[in-house]
């Protein structure tokens, strides 16, 4: 009782202690998740023009997209595709709402008529669209309360129908929006004239080029401040996303030489009989080996990673590494173990035979419902098709001519050739069809089932006979042993421990490991040769991952890598070091251009050419719309300056792409004005309107307020 009394007296203290512990837990979690303090949400993938993309809904759409792609898209690719779709939808919806664009009931009916008028379910007895049947169909879907009803070749329920209606309406609104914009896009007569004269008016010029290469790079000093100033004056060119420079080394889980030697030894051991103790019978039993077995199929299937193939094979169908040797062996001879891709194989010749390389057959095809390429006119079940095929076969056997029964065949293509098909053994025919044609004799007739239906096949001709062999092959996949796997793990662990105190690159060199560099952006996922490795990217961008940190990552079906962050680059302008690759040549050109201009004292093209040791050149029929200058390359500034001169005038020095130029306008060749510019106007209208859709959305996207949280929420 005394103890209970003490607890009661101190209950307030206990409550305070528990409360403080809970408070510490909550505060600690808040600091771990800064979004909780700043008002951000891990449930918002992105906020676009004030509209949130909910994480759960987004992930459901991603999963649906991946399912539809049949696994051909990675999770990151699927997420990016859905994000692009949702971004487009929200950005355009903002515009539609501001303009008051919508689809009303009557317009929706017209849209549905356009989309579904060809469906028999919505047609009257004359084949015309019947809106009442459409209304009845929709009402019936609603009454089904989630159950499906057939529509064409699909099954739909009320929810999927509603989604489809929404898609049709959204597409219609979008088309209306773009049509409104296109209606405002046009070309004036002045613009058409400008386009015409840009192609038709020409000038003849003389020019001299003083190349930038006439001044050595060593004579031009470029400082960091020069590069910084250049970056600031070309911000759009040097804006970069956040990135991480990472290096990594690989530890592959590969079979060792000892592993491969054991695989080969084990394969050879299969040849002889062996005695094993049977736990069930408590006796020693003799296991028949490859040499003595009478059931090759059972033996191979029990001991091989690749099932037994009972077919005769030609040289071209055998493994490339073994075909020449195998074709020379006698029955019961062995070859191997030999390495073929990711397997070691031991092959035994079972039989040899002369086989045709090509055949000619004729056939009658009786398809069934669900068969490959079976159209809507096919109504027979597989059982019914078999009965029909058997009856045709019986008629042929009783004396009816094959050709007289061709009208019963659904293969209209071969029917035009008397039902005949000629093909070689490499042709992509149905396996059972091909096997019958090559494995039987000329004149044989039989009923053969394939994925297309039932065929009555008659072999008409076989030719080009060559040797074929039947091979029993036991294959073992080349995989690392448990000991090798442990050795790889130990090697990786020792490197990781050593790297915590030593130089990453030096340690790798000591161990003959290749250090591979890679640069990640925040939404990247792939490492060349390793595929999608999103965990590595995510780790490199975590707030608590610092430059110099490293970590090991298990890679499925590969082994391990140890990755190290070499440099963290945040979003903004490129560093002077990185920018110097492209900025340095341009800055040098600017400085060289200034030096060249300073030493140009002459005023005519001929004198400048003479003083600078260059040749005066000519260019005839230069047009404004073609920026390529004969003898110099693409020089838009130079050509533009030439068209700004009066005939006989000489330009001031022009800083071009490859040097400093001085131009003399020799002659202006005026173009004759056209009486009508309609053709040019129509062409320009077509060009401009065709590009409207892409340009408009790009402009809307650039103007949108977007907060992208993908890397933090779903990646």
Counting every residue written for the chain, the total comes to 715
Is residue 19 predicted with pLDDT exceeding 50? no
**Residue 715: per-residue pLDDT:** 61
Span between the terminal Cα atoms of the chain, in Å: 58
Query: Any residues with CB less than 8 A from the CB of 686 and at least 6 apart, and which?
Result: none
**436 and 493 belong to one structural domain:** no
**412 and 295 belong to one structural domain:** yes
**Residue 307: per-residue pLDDT:** 95
Is residue 4 predicted with pLDDT exceeding 80? no
Contact indicator for 354, 360 with CB cutoff of 8 Å: no
Provide the sign of the torsion angle of the four alpha carbons 287, 289, 295, 300, taken in this order: positive
**Residue 18: per-residue pLDDT:** 46
In the listed set 669, 685, 700, which residue is the last one of a domain according to the structure?
669
Using alpha carbons, select from 284, 278, 304, 437 the residue that is nearest to residue 362. 437
**446 and 344 belong to one structural domain:** yes
Mean pLDDT for 199-214 is 96
Flag whether 71 is in a domain: no
Q: Tens digit of pLDDT for each residue in 81-116?
A: 899 999 998 999 988 988 999 888 888 888 988 888
Mean pLDDT for 129-144 is 88
Please indicate whether residue 109 or residue 648 has the higher confidence score (pLDDT). 648
Flag whether 14 is in a domain: yes
**372 and 431 belong to one structural domain:** yes
Strands in 329-381 per DSSP E: 334-340, 343-366
Is residue 202 predicted with pLDDT exceeding 80? yes
Flag whether 591 is in a domain: yes
The DSSP output letter for 304 is -
**Residue 389: per-residue pLDDT:** 94
Alpha-carbon span 133 to 164, nearest angstrom: 18
**484 and 633 belong to one structural domain:** no
Mean pLDDT for 18-22 is 46
Alpha-carbon span 185 to 179, nearest angstrom: 10
Mean pLDDT for 214-238 is 94
Q: Tens digit of pLDDT for each residue in 259-291?
A: 999 999 999 999 999 888 787 877 888 889 999
Angle at 705 between CA 702 and CA 711, to 5 degrees: 95
**Residue 2: per-residue pLDDT:** 41
Provide the sign of the torsion angle of the four alpha carbons 11, 14, 20, 21, taken in this order: negative
**388 and 503 belong to one structural domain:** no
Is residue 6 predicted with pLDDT exceeding 90? no
**342 and 471 belong to one structural domain:** yes
Q: Tens digit of pLDDT for each residue in 297-355?
A: 999 999 999 999 988 898 988 999 999 999 999 999 999 999 999 999 999 999 998 88
Q: Tens digit of pLDDT for each residue in 153-193?
A: 778 888 888 888 888 998 999 999 999 999 999 999 999 99
Ramachandran class of 98: left when φ > 0, alpha when ψ lies in -120 to 50, beta otherwise: alpha
CA atoms within 13 A on the CB side of 513: 25
Alpha-carbon span 225 to 362, nearest angstrom: 83
Is residue 41 predicted with pLDDT exceeding 90? no
**400 and 529 belong to one structural domain:** no
Q: What is the pTM of this model?
A: 0.65
Query: Any residues with CB less than 8 A from the CB of 602 and at least 6 apart, and which?
Result: 608, 610, 611
Mean pLDDT for 647-661 is 96
**415 and 465 belong to one structural domain:** yes
Contact indicator for 86, 157 with CB cutoff of 8 Å: no
In the listed set 629, 649, 669, which residue is the last one of a domain according to the structure?
669
Mean pLDDT for 478-505 is 95
Q: Please report which confidence band the pLDDT of residue 369 belongs to, taking 50, 70 and 90 as the band edges.
A: confident
Q: Tens digit of pLDDT for each residue in 515-559?
A: 999 999 998 988 999 988 999 999 999 989 999 999 999 999 899
**Residue 12: per-residue pLDDT:** 47
Using only the alpha carbons of the chain, give its radius of gyration. 39
Using alpha carbons, select from 435, 428, 425 the residue that is nearest to residue 455. 435
Domain range for 1: 1-32
Is residue 121 predicted with pLDDT exceeding 90? no
Flag whether 385 is in a domain: yes
**409 and 428 belong to one structural domain:** yes
Number of domains in the chain: 5
Please indicate whether residue 355 or residue 648 has the higher confidence score (pLDDT). 648
Percentage of the chain exceeding pLDDT 90: 62
Mean pLDDT for 435-448 is 93
Alpha-carbon span 609 to 71, nearest angstrom: 66
Question: Exposure pattern of 437-461 as b/e (b: 16+ CB <10 Å)?
Answer: bbebeeeebebbbbebbbbbbbbbe
**592 and 658 belong to one structural domain:** yes
Q: Please report which confidence band the pLDDT of residue 43 belongs to, taking 50, 70 and 90 as the band edges.
A: confident
**508 and 540 belong to one structural domain:** yes
Mean pLDDT for 583-602 is 95
**Residue 714: per-residue pLDDT:** 62
Q: Tens digit of pLDDT for each residue in 52-65?
A: 999 888 888 888 88
Contact indicator for 363, 420 with CB cutoff of 8 Å: no
278 three-state secondary structure: strand
Flag whether 291 is in a domain: yes
As a whole number, the mean pLDDT across the chain is 89
**CA 230 → CA 215, 575, 577, distances in Å?**
21, 12, 13
Mean pLDDT for 247-264 is 96
Flag whether 306 is in a domain: yes
At 209, give phi and psi (nearest 5°). Answer: -115, 125
């Amino acid at each position: 009782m005394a103890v209970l009394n003490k607890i009661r007296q101190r209950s307030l203290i206990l409550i305070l202690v528990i409360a403080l512990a809970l408070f510490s837990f909550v505060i600690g979690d808040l600091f771990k998740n800064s979004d909780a303090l700043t008002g951000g949400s891990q449930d918002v993938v992105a906020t676009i023009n004030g509209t949130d993309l909910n994480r759960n809904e987004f992930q459901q759409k991603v999963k649906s997209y991946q399912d539809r792609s049949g696994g051909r898209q990675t999770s990151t690719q699927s997420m990016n595709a859905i994000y692009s779709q949702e971004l487009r939808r929200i950005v355009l919806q903002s515009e539609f709402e501001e303009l008051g664009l919508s689809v009303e009931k009557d317009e929706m009916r017209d849209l549905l008529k356009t989309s579904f008028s060809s469906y028999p379910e919505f047609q009257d007895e004359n084949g015309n669209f019947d809106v009442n049947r459409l209304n009845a169909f929709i009402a019936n879907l609603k009454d089904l309360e989630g159950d499906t009803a057939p529509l064409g070749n699909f099954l739909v329920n009320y929810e999927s129908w509603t989604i489809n209606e929404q898609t049709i309406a959204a597409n219609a609104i979008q088309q209306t929006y773009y049509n409104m914009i296109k209606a405002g896009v046009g070309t004036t007569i002045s613009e058409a004239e400008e386009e015409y004269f840009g192609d038709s008016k020409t000038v003849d010029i003389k020019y001299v080029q003083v190349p930038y290469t006439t001044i050595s790079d060593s004579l031009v000093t470029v400082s960091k401040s020069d590069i910084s100033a250049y970056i600031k004056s070309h911000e759009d060119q040097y804006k970069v996303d956040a990135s991480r420079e990472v290096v990594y080394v690989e530890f592959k889980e590969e079979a060792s030489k000892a592993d491969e030697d054991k695989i080969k030894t084990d394969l050879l051991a299969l040849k002889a009989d062996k005695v094993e103790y049977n736990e069930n019978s408590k006796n020693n039993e003799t296991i028949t080996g490859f040499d003595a077995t009478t059931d090759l199929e059972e033996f191979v299937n029990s001991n091989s990673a690749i099932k037994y193939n009972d077919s005769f094979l030609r040289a071209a169908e055998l493994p490339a590494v073994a075909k020449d040797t195998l074709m020379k062996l006698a029955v019961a001879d062995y070859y191997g173990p030999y390495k073929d891709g990711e397997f070691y194989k031991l092959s035994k010749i079972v039989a040899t035979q002369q086989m045709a390389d090509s055949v000619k057959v004729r056939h009658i095809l009786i398809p069934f419902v669900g068969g490959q390429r079976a159209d809507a006119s096919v109504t027979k079940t597989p059982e019914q098709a078999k009965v029909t095929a058997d009856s045709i076969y019986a008629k042929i056997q009783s004396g009816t001519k094959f050709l007289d029964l061709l009208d019963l065949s659904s293969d209209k293509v071969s029917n035009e050739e008397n039902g005949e098909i000629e093909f070689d053994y490499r042709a992509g025919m149905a396996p059972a069809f091909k096997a019958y044609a090559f494995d039987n004799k000329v004149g044989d007739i039989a009923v053969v089932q394939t994925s297309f239906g039932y065929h009555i096949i008659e072999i008409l001709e076989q030719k080009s006979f060559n040797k074929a062999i039947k091979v029993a092959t036991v294959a073992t996949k080349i995989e690392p042993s448990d000991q090798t796997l442990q050795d790889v793990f130990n090697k990786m662990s020792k490197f990781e421990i050593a790297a915590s105190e030593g130089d990453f690159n030096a340690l790798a060199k000591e161990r003959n490991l290749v250090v591979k560099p890679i640069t990640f952006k925040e939404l990247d996922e792939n490492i060349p040769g390793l595929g999608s490795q999103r965990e590595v990217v995510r780790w490199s961008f975590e707030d608590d991952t610092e430059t110099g940190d490293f970590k090991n990552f298990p890679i499925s079906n590969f082994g391990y890598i140890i990755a190290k962050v070499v440099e963290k680059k945040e979003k903004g302008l490129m560093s002077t070091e990185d920018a110097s690759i492209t900025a340095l040549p341009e800055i040098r050109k600017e400085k060289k251009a200034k030096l060249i201009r300073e030493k140009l004292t002459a005023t005519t093209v001929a004198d400048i050419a003479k003083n600078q040791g260059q040749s005066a050149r000519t260019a005839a029929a230069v047009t404004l719309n073609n920026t390529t200058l004969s003898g110099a390359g693409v020089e838009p500034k130079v050509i533009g300056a030439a068209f700004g001169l009066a005939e006989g005038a000489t330009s001031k020095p022009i800083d071009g792409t490859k040097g400093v130029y001085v131009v003399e306008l020799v002659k202006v060749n005026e173009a004759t004005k056209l009486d009508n510019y309609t053709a040019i106007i129509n062409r320009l209208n077509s060009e401009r309107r065709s590009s409207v859709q892409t340009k408009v959305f790009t402009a809307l996207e650039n103007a949108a307020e977007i907060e992208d949280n993908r890397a933090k929420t779903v990646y």
